[in-house]
Amino acid sequence: MKIKNVLVDTTLIVFGILAAGFGLKGFLLSSHFIDGGVTGVSMLVADLSHIPLSVLIFVINIPFLFLGYRKLGFTFALKSAVSIAGLSLCLAFVHFPDVTHDKLLTAIFGGVFIGAGIGMSIRGGAVLDGTEIAALLVSKKAQIVRVSDVILILNVVIFTAAVFQLGVEPGLYSILTYLSASKMIDFILNGLEQYTGITVVSAKGEEIRVAITQSLGRGVTVYQGKSGYGKDGHINSPREIIFTVATRLEVPLLKREILKIDPAAFIVQTSVDDTTGGLLKRKKGH
C-alpha cells in the first residue's frame, strides 16, 4: 500500500511539473504575463535581471523550503524541493510550443495549466510555489489572519509591482492569469462535487432521518439535544440534531424534503473542504 501511495504521489507531482511548465513556456513567457506568488516574483526578477527563470524559481524558493523543513517536516520539504527542482529543469530543458498570441487566451489558459500543475503537486504532498508555506506560517502566528488573506496580500504587492514593471495591460492580464490559476487549484483539490454539511434541529428528527436515509440515500449522524431556553427560562422539549453531508447540487432537494416534514426545522449549512471515510451515500436497496 505504501509503494502504491508513493507511485501515485510521484505521478501527480510529475504531471504537475509538466502542466505548470507548459503553462509558463507555452503561454505566459512570450506575452510577458506573470503568475502570483514566488513564481511571479521570479518572472519579474528575470525580466529585470535577465537571469534564467529556471534558476530564479529554485533559488527564490530556497528560504521557503527551509521554513517548510523547520515547521512542516523533512518529508514535505524534500518532496517540495524535488518538485521545484523538477519545474526548474523542465523550464530549462523541455521544449513546449508557443500555443497562442491571443492575450485573453494566454492569460486564461496559462493560469489553467499552472493551477492544474500546482493542484496536482499539492495532491502529491508537495508545493511548486513557496508562497503557500509562508502564508501558512504567518497565519498560524497571527491566528486571526487566514491563509487565503496572507496569499491575497502578497499577491496584491506582486501585481502592483507588475503594473509598474510590465505596464498596465500586462499587469491586468497577469491578475486574470492568477484568478484562473486559483480557480483551477480549487477545482483540482476539491473537485466538482464540493460538499456542504447540513445540520438540522427538529422535533421531528426521526421522520427527517428516515427521509434523508431512505428517500435521498444519504448517510446521517444523529445527536441528542435540547432546543435551548424558552422565554420562561426553562429548557424546552428535547430535539434530535441530524448532521449529513451532501453535494451542492443535492442541497436544495435536501432542504425541500426537510421543510416539507417540519417547516419550523432549524437548518444550518457549512462548507466542507474534503471528506475521508464514513458513509456519504447509502446504496439503494440497503
The per-residue pLDDT for range 199-209, each reduced to its tens digit, is: 998 888 888 88
**Are 96 and 28 a contacting pair, CB within 8 Å?**
no
Q: Which residues span the domain enclosing 126?
A: 2-190
Instruction: Answer whether residue 52 is part of any domain.
Output: yes
**Are 158 and 47 a contacting pair, CB within 8 Å?**
no
**Are 204 and 160 a contacting pair, CB within 8 Å?**
no
Dig out the grid coordinates for 72 from the structure: 512542516
Instruction: Answer whether residue 115 is part of any domain.
Output: yes
**Are 202 and 274 a contacting pair, CB within 8 Å?**
no
Task: Assess whether 180 and 265 both reside in one domain.
Answer: no
Task: Assess whether 104 and 181 both reside in one domain.
Answer: yes
Question: Is it the case that residue 137 has pLDDT exceeding 80?
Answer: no
Decide which of 133, 159, 190 is a domain's last residue: 190
- Domain count within the chain: 2
Task: Assess whether 121 and 199 both reside in one domain.
Answer: no
What is the pTM assigned to this prediction? 0.73
Q: For 264-284, what is the mean pLDDT?
A: 69
Task: Assess whether 184 and 200 both reside in one domain.
Answer: no
Task: Assess whether 8 and 109 both reside in one domain.
Answer: yes
Residues sharing a CB contact under 8 Å with residue 8, sequence separation 6 or more, in sequence order? 124
pLDDT of residue 205: 85
Task: Assess whether 177 and 240 both reside in one domain.
Answer: no
Taken as a whole, the chain contains a residue count of 286
Task: Assess whether 206 and 177 both reside in one domain.
Answer: no
Q: Write out pLDDT tens, residues 56-95.
A: 999 999 998 988 888 778 888 899 999 999 999 999 999 9
- C-alpha R_g of the chain: 24
Question: Is it the case that residue 284 has pLDDT exceeding 50?
Answer: no
pLDDT of residue 286: 44
